[in-house]
Structures are given as structure tokens and as C-alpha cells.
């Protein structure tokens, strides 16, 4: 059985990507499961979807814990533990990362013995993000080696039929490009070993302890501790204040920020990048246009460079 996991952010089309791959397998005669996994998080937050494909009935269900292929549509998620990109990844797993950085950089950075492939990251415009899924799926199909170009095309047409011909054409073009560029690695994905019933690691079950309601009620005895949740990781665009142009009026960006992530100290607004989700309301509303939207990836690279040469 093939076990494939897609990681991306809400709004990047991971569900659609998993469905395209699922349909493509199905068209090739496979038994298939595809499903998205939802949490409380919304657009921009890390989410994942998964596909299983086998030539016999699939009994396994739920989240894939030992993936054969992990597809990462947004490379900024890789180092985020909460995103769980690397969960269950071992030597047999193949990582396919949508990233401008090289395979070697990733291998080095992750210190993993598994194989890593990268796809060049896409244009930064948000409108383009919706094609990431198709691109990844095209590459994945070729790596798997069980899906023909035809089946891939047909699956994309089926799954995107409601979006109109223009969108389908764009997705097709990207998916097929990615499919073609993985030619030399065709069929490199190996299925993992199944758990076996004679030699397995025993679950360490406990005799569940009773704890009284002071502890065991679903209550939070804390005040505004949600600040520990770093929603800044959702961001693909970063608002950057040009303090020379800033009117020091502080009230506009700070008042309108849906997340309350712009604080004013003295007369100066400061954006809390740990929590800014990157909606860009401040960019749109700032009267003197003193806030600029910068691609998060670019901004991070600049941060890193500044750290090196202060």
C-alpha cells in the first residue's frame, strides 16, 4: 500500500491536491482513500491531507503515521513541530518539498537519511498559491511511477471541473511540467513494511488514574495564555512598517488589526510577528501607506542575513 501525506497551509489547496492524486490512482484501477484533516485552524494555518492507494481493499484508516511519500507545499512548515511534517518519516520515506532551496540544503538541514526532492517554489502572489497543489501532485505522480500522464490529466480535469477551463489549463500545465521534470526518478517510492503481529512494540497502556474535577474538568485556569500559540507561522506575507513614512498615528493599524497583533509603545506601532497572521489589513488601511507587504520567505532570509552581519 502507498501512504502519502500532503502538508500545506489552509487555503493552499491540499485537500484538492490529495483528491487529484486519489482520483488519478483510482483511474489507474487502485483502491483508494483520500481525506483532509481539519482542526480548529483556518486559512494560513498548517493543515494536512492524505492518500492511501493499494491494489486490494484498504482496511487501514485515519492519519498516516508511517508515510512513504511526504509532500510539502510550503517549505516554511518543515521546521514547525506543530505542522508534523516529519512525523513518522524514516529512511524509506521520500520528501518532496516545494522550495527554492536545493535538495542538499534540505538534507543537510534536516539531518535525515531519507531521500529529498525539491520543486522550485512558485511565484509569490497569493493568486498563484492555488496551483501549488497541482504542481506537487504532478511530481508525486511521477515519483510513484504508477500514474500515467493521461490519468493525471483526467484527474485534474475531474477534480477542478467547477473552476472553469482557464483554471484547469493552468493547473494542467503546471502539473504536467512537474510530472515531466521528475522523469529520471520515476517509480522511486517504496511502500513501507506493515506492522507484524508476532514482533511488534507493545502499547504501554496504563491503568487510567482518577483525578478530581479541580484538575480533570476541561477548564483553563489562566488568562490570555493563547499568546503561547505562535500564529505568526501562518503568514506567507509579512507587513513591514517603514517608520520614516509612519505618521505615528498608531490608532489605525492597531485598531483595525483583527488579531490585536499591533501594539503601540509610546508613539510607535510595533507588529508582533509571533502572532501576525499576515492578513495585510494594516497594509491596506495605513493612511500614508507606510506598511509594505514583503514575502515572508524573503523577509526571513533578510532576517537571517542580518543576524550573520549585524
Partner 1 sequence: MAEQPVSIYRSMKDLPSTHLLGTGTPMCAGCGGLEALNQLYDIIGDKSVFVNAAGCMTLLSVYPFTPFRGSWLYTAMASAPAGAQGVRDALDILIQKQRMNIDEDMQVVVLTGDGSAYGMGLSATSGAIERNLDFLYICYDNEGYGNTGQQFSAATPHGAKTATSTGSRGYPGFKKDLFAIWAAHNPAYVATVAGAEPVDLARKIEKAMSMKGPRMLIALSPCPTGWDYDPQETVTVGKLAVKTGIWPLKEYVDGRVIHTKIPRERKPVEEYLKLQGRYKHLFEPVRNDELIAEIQNKVDDYWGRVGK
Partner 2 sequence: MTRKLLTGNGAAALGARLAATDYIPAFPITPQTEIIETISGWIDQGEMDARMVTMESEHSMVTAAAAAAASGIRVFSATSSQGLLYGMEMLYTVSGWRAPFVLVNVSRGLASPITLEPDHNDIMSARDSGFLQIHCSTCQEVLDSTLMAFRLAEDERIRLPVIVNMDGFYLSFTREPVEVPDPKTAQNFVGDYDPENIRFRASSPVSQAVAVLGGVPYSYFRYETHLAAQNGLDVYDELSREFANQFGREYSAIEAYRCDDADIVFVMLGSFATKARAAVDQLRKAGNKVGLLRPRLLRPFPAEMFRMLLAGKSGVAVIDQNISMGMGGVLHSELAGALYGHPHAPPQLLSFIGGLGGRDISLEEFFEIADVTRNAVAQKHTPPPRLLYTEQELRQMRKLQAVASVERDELNNSGGAKNG
Residues of this chain that interact with partner 1 (CB under 8 A) are 39-45, 126, 218, 220, 222-231, 234-235, 249-252, 254-261, 263-264, 272, 274-275, 277-281, 283-285
- The per-residue b/e assignment along 190-210, b for 16 or more CB within 10 angstroms, e otherwise, is eebeeeeeeeeeeeeeeeeee
Is residue 213 close enough to count as binding partner 2 by CB under 8 A? yes
Closer CB to partner 2, 202 or 214, in the complex: 214
β-strands 69-72, 46-54 pairing: unpaired
What does 109 interact with, of partner 1, partner 2, none (CB < 5 to 8 A by kind)? none
3-state DSSP assignment of residue 10? coil
Number of residues written out for the chain: 310
Q: Measured between alpha carbons, how far is 130 from 177 in angstroms, rounded to an integer?
A: 16
Is residue 205 close enough to count as binding partner 2 by CB under 8 A? no
Closer CB to partner 2, 164 or 218, in the complex: 218
For residue 145 the three cell numbers come to 511511477
Residue 33 in contact with residue 1, Cβ under 8 Å? no
Closer CB to partner 2, 200 or 210, in the complex: 210
What does 298 interact with, of partner 1, partner 2, none (CB < 5 to 8 A by kind)? none
Is residue 258 close enough to count as binding partner 2 by CB under 8 A? no
For residue 177 the three cell numbers come to 511540467
Residue 120's φ and ψ, nearest 5 degrees, are: -60, 135
Is residue 214 close enough to count as binding partner 2 by CB under 8 A? yes
Is residue 219 close enough to count as binding partner 2 by CB under 8 A? yes
In the list 127, 204, 220, 308, the residue contacting partner 2 (rule: CB under 8 A) is: 220
Alpha helices in 14-164 (DSSP H): 14-27, 103-110, 126-129, 132-144, 149-159
Interface with partner 2 (CB under 8 A): 39-40, 208, 210-214, 216-223
Amino acid at each position: 500500500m502507498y501512504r502519502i501525506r500532503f502538508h500545506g497551509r489552509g487555503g493552499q489547496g491540499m485537500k484538492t491536491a490529495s483528491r487529484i492524486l486519489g482520483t488519478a490512482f483510482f483511474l489507474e484501477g487502485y483502491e483508494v482513500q483520500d481525506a483532509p484533516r481539519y482542526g480548529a485552524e483556518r486559512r494560513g494555518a498548517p493543515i494536512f491531507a492524505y492518500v492511501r492507494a493499494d491494489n486490494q481493499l484498504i482496511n487501514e484508516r485515519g492519519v498516516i503515521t508511517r508515510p512513504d511519500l511526504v509532500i510539502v507545499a510550503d517549505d516554511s512548515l518543515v521546521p514547525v513541530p506543530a505542522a508534523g511534517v516529519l512525523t513518522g518519516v524514516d529512511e524509506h520515506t521520500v520528501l518532496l518539498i516545494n522550495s527554492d532551496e536545493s535538495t542538499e540544503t534540505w538534507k543537510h538541514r534536516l539531518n535525515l537519511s531519507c531521500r529529498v526532492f525539491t520543486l522550485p517554489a512558485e511565484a509569490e502572489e497569493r493568486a498563484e498559491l492555488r496551483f501549488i497543489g497541482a504542481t506537487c501532485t504532478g511530481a508525486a505522480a511521477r515519483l510513484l511511477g504508477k500514474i500515467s500522464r493521461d490519468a493525471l490529466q483526467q484527474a485534474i480535469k475531474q477534480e477542478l471541473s467547477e473552476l472553469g477551463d482557464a483554471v484547469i489549463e493552468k493547473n494542467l500545465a503546471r502539473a504536467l511540467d512537474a510530472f515531466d521534470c521528475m522523469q529520471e526518478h520515476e517509480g522511486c517510492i517504496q511502500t513501507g513494511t506493515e506492522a507484524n503481529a508476532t514482533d511488534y512494540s507493545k502499547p504501554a497502556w496504563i491503568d487510567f488514574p482518577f483525578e478530581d474535577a479541580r484538575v480533570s474538568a476541561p477548564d483553563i485556569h489562566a488568562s490570555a495564555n493563547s499568546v503561547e500559540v505562535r500564529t505568526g507561522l501562518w503568514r506567507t506575507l509579512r507587513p513591514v512598517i517603514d517608520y520614516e513614512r509612519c505618521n505615528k498615528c498608531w490608532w489605525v493599524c492597531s485598531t483595525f488589526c483583527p488579531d490585536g497583533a499591533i501594539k503601540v509603545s509610546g508613539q510607535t506601532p510595533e507588529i508582533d510577528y509571533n502572532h501576525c497572521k499576515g492578513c495585510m489589513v494594516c497594509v491596506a488601511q495605513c493612511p500614508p501607506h507606510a506598511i509594505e507587504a514583503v514575502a515572508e520567505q524573503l523577509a526571513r532570509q533578510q532576517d537571517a542575513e542580518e543576524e550573520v552581519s549585524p
